[in-house]
Structure 1
Amino acid sequence: MIRLTQFEFAKIITRKSVYLALAGLLVLLVLYACLAHSGPLNGTSYYKPYEGPITAEKVKVAQDQIQNYSEETQNRYGVFYDISVFSPFKNSIRYDEHGNVMERTVTVSEIHYNKPWGYLLEYIDQFGVLFMMVMILLGLAPVFAEEYALGTAALLRSSKRGKGQLVSAKLMASMFYVVICVAVFTSVNLLVYWLRFGNLAGADTPIQSVGMYFYSFDYEFSPYKFTAIQYYGVQLVTHLVGCLIFGCIVLLVSALSSTSFIAMVVNVALVGVPYLAFDVMNFNPGWATWIEEFSFSTMMRVTRFFLTPVSYSVFGLELSYLNWYMIIMAVVTIGVILGTYRTFRTREVFS
């Protein structure tokens, strides 16, 4: 079984398209990380004099500096904006999309430099999803469909291990491939931002205080008491699980398709249509909300689960959004895996 899995894994990673895509995506990642956002490279020195508890004196200095903002002081603007946002002397109320008052579970009362983590967290949600979808589609879409196209499916199914162990080997090799792709992206991402900022400072600060841009604190109202590095680990594991689920779906479509091209087109449609509808065209009728919230790509992006406290009541059972999503995806994944086994075992050879 180990030899068979190794052979199937070798078939995946020896595809030229995988290496071409990997090289292109890594170059794009580096260019985008270095050129797309002009934010401060290393703002540690700007934050150093103001680190620690937010006091009335710091708030007064921040207000004065913000009023006198200029191009010469833009690199120092971040620390003053942070102080103004989390000032304990500010009586501001914010509302969610339903008009409910948003309350902070974790109150930020100190200022520390943690900008590198804002970029690291954002890139799993954005470029990390693109990277993994491309790599998974190119690597896994041909896994079963290629056997049909080459005419080897019937031969494989008639072999000693063709109706059970072969599918298991393909599945394990595919999952190992997904894990390696996530590890490659994570390693390069950490290296790029460590080199760009010169440090990964602020790892022990709460995620509620982590912002990528001066005006964006996505986790300000998150109910989870994670530090930046703790949440990065949680985000990474959740992202990996989402990628593994997507990989299983790609394998099922591959087993149902006569060629790799058809498998690729169908999987791209499964990913692209919801993205275009909800993110690009802002298609958001009430009846379709559940499609966006429980899309399989939501887990790959991760962020939605941890932004604000959301719960659902189903048949009198109250569970958090994350828990309900995991239950649904567990059921879907089991069905997808069983469907892949059954499809490859019983499907007639394509003409």
Structure 2
Amino acid sequence: MIRLTRYEFVKIMTRKSIYLALTGLLMLLVLYAYLGHPGPMNGTSFYKPYEGAITAEKVQAAQEQLQNKGYSDEANQNRYGVFYEISLFSPEFIKNYTKTDDSGNVMERTVNVTEIHYNKPWGYLLEYIDQFGVLFMMIMILLGLAPVFAEEYALGTAALVRSSKRGKSQIVSAKLMASIVYIVLCVILFTSINLLIYWLRFGNLAGADTPIQSVGMYFQSFDYEYSPYRLSALQYYFVQLVTHLAGSLIFGCVVLWVSSLSSTAFVAIIINVAIVGVPYLAFDVMNFNPGWAKWIEEFSFSTMMRVTRLFQTPVNYSIFRVEVSYLQLYLLIMTVVTAVVVLGTYRAFRNREVFS
């Protein structure tokens, strides 16, 4: 079985399209990191005088600075970012500011940020998995796994493979295991390069022990401000990474299932692009947001790969009078979907040989 899995893994890794896409994606990753955010990025010196508890004196100084200088100059984001955060997390602002969820209910902060610390590198690391990491993994999974079964049909080798000594089920298992190894390697590669780039850009990874609620993505966007999870930036980074990997594996299983039903790799890629691309274009690009379609956005495959939405706010659902969190319900649905598509892949490859 190990030898068969190794053979299937080699078949995946010898596809030239993978390396062409990998080269292009890594170039985009580096160019965006250096050109999208030009100039020095280490703002430790700006935060150091204000680190620690948020006092009335710090709040007053922050408000004066923001009124005098503003916060629009990108070159001075680090300099004025500390003043913005002091004001945002000041007791007075938190007391007077309320935020509601989609149902109109007032959201409560599980964790109150009472201290200011520099943690900007983690904002960029988390942002990259949420944004570029999803694009990277989707393209690599589509190019690597869409041909796994469809190629056998297109080349006419499906019937020969199915009648071999290893039988139908063992071959499918080997393809699944090889695909899992491929996905894990892709996630490790992206994560390693992402860490290296931003360690070099910032010169440090400061603020790893600060609460996730205080980490700003895009400097002014504190996506986890109302997160119910008590995690540090480093702890959440690993949670995000594991969740991103799990989402990538689930999407990989879907791609394999579609491949087992498709006559060519091209058809499999088109169908899979539609599965993940249509919801993204509708909800994120075109702002299509009717109430009846909200569940599609909340439980799409890309949601788990992006991770952010799952840990952002304390959303709960009532299922047969049992209260479950959004994260629990999503994981339950994805577990069922994964079991269905894996079993469907075995069944499809056993029962179908020729595609017209």
Q: TM-score range by the shorter chain?
A: over 0.9
SS of the aligned residue for 1:163 comes to helix
Residue 76 (structure 1) aligns with: 79
> Superposition pairs for residues 233-252 of structure 1, below 5 Å?
233-252=238-257
> Superposition pairs for residues 33-52 of structure 1, below 5 Å?
33-38=33-38, 41-52=41-52
Q: In the alignment, residue 36 of structure 2 is paired with which amino acid?
A: A
Residue 196 (structure 2) aligns with: 191
Residue 151 (structure 2) aligns with: 146
Cα RMSD (Å): 1.3
SS of the aligned residue for 2:96 comes to coil
Q: In the alignment, residue 114 of structure 2 is paired with which amino acid?
A: S
Residue 60 (structure 2) aligns with: 60
How far did residue 75 of structure 1 move? 3.8
Residue 169 (structure 1) aligns with: 174
Asked whether the 8 Å contact 2:12–2:148 carries over to 1, the reply is yes
How far did residue 162 of structure 1 move? 3.0
Give the aligned length. Answer: 351
Q: In the alignment, residue 54 of structure 1 is paired with which amino acid?
A: I
Q: In the alignment, residue 338 of structure 2 is paired with which amino acid?
A: T
Asked whether the 8 Å contact 2:276–2:300 carries over to 1, the reply is no
What TM-score, normalized by structure 1, do the two folds share? Answer: 0.97
Q: In the alignment, residue 99 of structure 2 is paired with which amino acid?
A: Y
How far did residue 221 of structure 1 move? 0.7
Residue 29 (structure 1) aligns with: 29
Give a deviation string over 1:300-344, Cα, whole Å, max 9, x none: 111001111001101111110111111111111011001000100
Asked whether the 8 Å contact 2:213–2:225 carries over to 1, the reply is yes
Residue 89 (structure 1) aligns with: 92
Give a deviation string over 1:279-309, Cα, whole Å, max 9, x none: 1111111111111111121111110011110
> Superposition pairs for residues 1-351 of structure 1, below 5 Å?
1-38=1-38, 41-69=41-69, 74-90=77-93, 91-96=95-100, 97-351=102-356
SS of the aligned residue for 2:318 comes to strand
Asked whether the 8 Å contact 2:120–2:215 carries over to 1, the reply is yes
Question: Where does the alignment leave 5 or more consecutive residues of structure 2 unmatched?
Answer: none
What TM-score, normalized by structure 2, do the two folds share? Answer: 0.96
Q: In the alignment, residue 301 of structure 2 is paired with which amino acid?
A: F
Q: Distance in 1 between matches of 2:244 and 2:153?
A: 31
Q: Distance in 1 between matches of 2:207 and 2:40?
A: 15
Asked whether the 8 Å contact 2:77–2:219 carries over to 1, the reply is no
Asked whether the 8 Å contact 2:53–2:114 carries over to 1, the reply is yes
Question: Where does the alignment leave 5 or more consecutive residues of structure 1 unmatched?
Answer: none
SS of the aligned residue for 2:313 comes to coil
Asked whether the 8 Å contact 2:120–2:219 carries over to 1, the reply is no
How far did residue 41 of structure 1 move? 0.3
Q: Distance in 2 between matches of 1:324 and 1:242?
A: 14
Q: In the alignment, residue 300 of structure 2 is paired with which amino acid?
A: S
C-alpha change, 1:158 and 1:214, in structure 2 (3 Å) is: closer
C-alpha change, 1:38 and 1:218, in structure 2 (3 Å) is: farther
Q: Distance in 2 between matches of 1:149 and 1:65?
A: 66
Asked whether the 8 Å contact 1:210–1:219 carries over to 2, the reply is yes
Q: In the alignment, residue 248 of structure 2 is paired with which amino acid?
A: C
